[in-house]
Amino acid sequence: MVVTSPQITHVIFDLDGLLLDTETIYTMVNTEMMKSYGREYSMELKAKTTGMKMEDAVRVMLQHVSENFPFDTVTVEEYKKQYKNLLAKHLPESKPLAGAMQLVQHLAKYEIPMAMCSGSDTFEFEAKMRNQKELSDLITLRVRLCSFLITPTWKIVRKISDPVISLLLFDSPAVSFLVINSRKKKRIVDQWLVAIARGVIRTSSQMPPPVIECRYRWVYKLYRLLISIRVSNLQVLTGDDPGVKRGKPAPDGFLETMRRFQVKPESVANVLVFEDSTNGVRAAVAAGMHVVMVPDLRYAKPPEECADKIAFVLKSLEEFKPETMGLAPFD
């Protein structure tokens, strides 16, 4: 099968189990968590939660746990605290999967715009990417489907204040980002937006790409302005993001990622998604995009209802031949 029309102009990657071998770590951590509650972590349970946002996955886990424990004695927050402690220890050990870097480097060489659309929250994402500088540099647009929380461990490296606005630049282990607060939102939107955008451009030239936290819809207007004036290498991380209401298998994340490319695809048919999870494939198909699936067949299988809409099912990214999707072949 060779896809020649319409032309693929943009590529979106999932992260876990597709670019990075994090699924081995998640399996180990979840097995340990389930064991502490006297339960077994099965491949069926893994299949059910893969691709979900952490909050949703934890709730599914707790329903499984509640067969031995009363549900109200094990809270989401308690479970997440134990879970995150184990993830913090092991996620930085994540390694690129076979073929991942070759493909990303190849697409970058031919200037194909790339993005990551991940269910990871900030805590998980930073841990995974801590030792993945090249991957981070090559894929600059990243849309995460979870809320963003500031923690006291991040260091304020610069503060700019006046009676109307307060700009805080934080520096964390994996990324620098910008938080914008205001007591007078309407004045910001109506009078200060362009001035702020110019300030962000000047500041961002001195630091790694900024991330804008969209906790309020008026901040989202600022993000849209920055996109319109083409701030280079802008990354987006949203807390109260009006564009992503549902996680996979809903298509929201992929559609919003498409909208955030600086040079936008003409249509969804120009976008190629790489996914490893069943829910992720369903999301890509629902978005109307081309999809290549690279599943771990122990727990993820091509969804039957989407079988005729999946371009290829591969054992690893090493098997992918770009020319079969109308892209330049490997050298």
Q: Does 77 share its domain with 119? A: no
**Residue found by looking up tokens 């060779």 in the block:** 2
- Residue 266's pLDDT is what? 95
Which residues have CB under 8 Å from 63's CB, separation 6+? Answer: 71
Percent of the chain with pLDDT over 90: 29
- Residue 181's pLDDT is what? 40
- Residue 330's pLDDT is what? 96
Residue 195 falls within a domain, yes or no?
no
Q: How confident is the model at residue 67 (pLDDT cuts 50, 70, 90)?
A: low
- Residue 243's pLDDT is what? 59
Q: Does 246 share its domain with 104? A: yes
3-state secondary structure of 12: strand
Q: Does 129 share its domain with 247? A: yes
**Pairing label, strands 290-293, 271-275:** parallel
Which residues have CB under 8 Å from 78's CB, separation 6+? Answer: none
Count of the separate structural domains present in the chain? 2
| Residue 31 and residue 318 in contact, taking contact as beta carbons nearer than 8 Å | no
Indicate the average pLDDT of the chain. 71
- Residue 177's pLDDT is what? 35
Q: Does 254 share its domain with 323? A: yes
Answer whether 0.95 is exceeded by the pTM: no
Residue 82 falls within a domain, yes or no?
yes
Task: Assess whether pLDDT exceeds 90 at residue 20.
Answer: yes
Residue 189 falls within a domain, yes or no?
no
Q: Does 87 share its domain with 106? A: no
- CA 6 vs. chain centroid, Å, equals 26
Q: CA 250, CA 317: separation in Å to the nearest integer? A: 24
Percent of the chain with pLDDT over 70: 64
Residue 193 falls within a domain, yes or no?
no
Q: The CATH number of the domain where 277 resides is what?
A: 3.40.50.1000
Residue 169 falls within a domain, yes or no?
no
Q: How confident is the model at residue 221 (pLDDT cuts 50, 70, 90)?
A: very low
Q: Does 49 share its domain with 139? A: no
Q: Summarize pLDDT for 22-36 with one digit per residue, the tens.
A: 888 988 998 998 888
Q: How confident is the model at residue 143 (pLDDT cuts 50, 70, 90)?
A: low
Token representation of residue 305: 């209802």
Task: Assess whether pLDDT exceeds 70 at residue 235.
Answer: no
Q: Summarize pLDDT for 289-309 with one digit per residue, the tens.
A: 999 999 988 878 899 999 999
Q: Does 257 share its domain with 278? A: yes
Is the alpha carbon torsion for 28, 29, 32, 34 positive or negative? negative
Q: Summarize pLDDT for 275-294 with one digit per residue, the tens.
A: 999 989 999 999 999 999 99
Residue 319 falls within a domain, yes or no?
yes
- CA 79 vs. chain centroid, Å, equals 22
Q: CA 121, CA 4: separation in Å to the nearest integer? A: 36
Q: Does 237 share its domain with 323? A: yes
Q: CA 311, CA 304: separation in Å to the nearest integer? A: 14
Residue 269 falls within a domain, yes or no?
yes
Residue 171 falls within a domain, yes or no?
no
Q: Summarize pLDDT for 82-125 with one digit per residue, the tens.
A: 888 999 999 999 999 999 999 999 999 998 999 888 877 767 87
- Residue 123's pLDDT is what? 76
Q: Does 30 share its domain with 136? A: no
Distance set, CA 80 to CA 36, 53, 87, 97, 120 (Å): 14, 12, 10, 27, 13
Residue that is last in its domain, among 77, 93, 109: 93
Q: CA 130, CA 95: separation in Å to the nearest integer? A: 11
Peptide bond into 322 cis (omega under 30): no
- Residue 304's pLDDT is what? 92
- Residue 135's pLDDT is what? 84
Task: Assess whether pLDDT exceeds 80 at residue 325.
Answer: yes
- Residue 201's pLDDT is what? 34
Task: Assess whether pLDDT exceeds 70 at residue 142.
Answer: no
Q: CA 115, CA 3: separation in Å to the nearest integer? A: 21
Residue range 164-169: average pLDDT? 34
- Residue 308's pLDDT is what? 93
Q: Which domain holds residue 255?
A: 1-19+97-152+226-330
